[in-house]
Amino acid sequence: MSDGDLLFRAPEDERAYRCDHFNTPRGIKLGDKEEDVIRLYGQPDNSKIIKGGDKILTYKAQSERKDVAVKNLVLYFTISNGSVTSFHLVSNMPGAKKPF
């Protein structure tokens, strides 16, 4: 691996894995520019600067469908120095255990 490779660490086994092949359904991947996120997803529903200077962009799903089991779908992007350093998707799923 080179110094530019993007990694994630699995907490259960302490190993690091390459993750540069993961991307959102619209094609955003780690290392992409904040402008690319906004171009593909539009203006975020919320944007805030957190301790350390990173920016969090929040996108909330808009759906009026009654047949969809997953509720409150939210996509978060972490931006550091103008580039995507992480993204994650959260939601309420019927029957899913809460992590805490």
Among 3.40.50.300, 3.40.50.1260, 3.30.1600.10, 3.30.1450.10, name the CATH number for the domain at 24-92.
Answer: 3.30.1450.10
pLDDT at 14: 52
pLDDT at 1: 38
pLDDT in tens, the chain (100 residues): 344 444 444 455 555 455 556 788 899 999 999 999 999 999 999 999 999 999 999 999 876 777 777 778 889 999 999 999 989 888 877 776 666 5
Domain boundaries of the chain, sorted by first residue: 24-92
> What is the spatial distance between Cα 14 and Cα 38, in angstroms, rounded to a whole number?
33
Q: What angle do CA 92, 100, 46 make, to 5 degrees?
A: 50
